[in-house]
Amino acid sequence: MPKPKDNVPAHFYDRAEAGRFLARELGRYAGRNDVLVLALPRGGVPVGFQVARELRVPLDVFLVRKLGVPGHEELAMGAIASGGVRVLNDEVIRRNAISHEVIERVSARERIELQRRELAYRRNTSPHDFKGKTIILVDDGIATGSTMCAAIAALRKSEPARIIVGAPTAPASCQEDLGPDVDELVVVTKPEPFYSVGQVYDLFDQTSDEEVRSLLARSEQQLHA
């Protein structure tokens, strides 16, 4: 079990340990039938698994694919997400004079990858219904916040009752960047200076598709045990 609150470590051994510390910060949501943990694959799933297990609530994945501006893919003109949701950044589209045809072409390409991952992670199971739920949106850390922002915007379209963002680590600026867009932001440690998510992990290896599938299956089994 995690150490007392005043002994939050400077480093987590791995995502599983980070998830247990995060779960402690979210303990007030334990055992509630309106709560659902949504993890951002792939790295967020080992964290989300521990949170869901400690809180005794369901776990699912929420896939988000950024729609990059052609030639400047790091700049997001929008995002698509689980459930067929698409969110567009009108300001970026207008400023870069991006045509409807370009938006559709990029969306179609990213939708193929999104569908591939949906099939790889869920196989033939359907995603949960988010409407009216308290959603705990989890990743293994927040760096620039762009992926999490896209996930929040997409998730809003599914009309959850509340969105809580949880992460083991993030820069101090995340409260200003993300706080206004969610009902609650829970971060275990905010190192200064902040260089990357990996700086707080001793073990920060890649999470595989197989591990994601395994953790989702284990979470389902534990919930019904």
Q: Where on the phi/psi map is residue 201: left (φ > 0), alpha (ψ -120 to 50), or beta?
A: beta
Name the CA dihedral angle for 36, 41, 44, 49, rounded to a multiple of 10 degrees: 50
Q: Are 219 and 30 in contact (CB under 8 A)?
A: no
Domain identity same for 144 and 82: no
pLDDT, tens digit (0-9, with 9 covering 90-100), for 30-76: 999 999 999 999 999 999 999 999 999 999 999 988 898 999 887 88
Domain end (from 122, 139, 170): 122
Q: Residue 39: CB partners within 8 Å, gap ≥ 6?
A: 45, 47, 48, 49, 59, 60, 61, 62, 138, 139
Domain end (from 73, 89, 122): 122
Domain identity same for 28 and 118: no
Q: For residue 140, what pLDDT is reported?
A: 97
Q: Measure the CA–CA gap between 216 and 42, rounded to whole angstroms.
A: 12
Domain identity same for 137 and 49: yes
The mean pLDDT value for 81-95 works out to 86
pLDDT, tens digit (0-9, with 9 covering 90-100), for 123-162: 767 778 899 999 999 999 998 887 888 899 889 988 999 9
Closest CA relative to residue 150, chosen from 51, 76, 205, 55: 76
Residue type, 31: G
Q: Which CATH number does the domain housing residue 76 bear?
A: 3.30.1310.20
How many domains is the chain partitioned into structurally? Answer: 2
- Which residues constitute the domain of residue 29? 19-64+131-223
Q: For residue 15, what pLDDT is reported?
A: 98
Band (9; pLDDT cuts 50, 70, 90): confident
pTM comes to 0.86
Q: Measure the CA–CA gap between 121 and 48, rounded to whole angstroms.
A: 14
Band (1; pLDDT cuts 50, 70, 90): very low
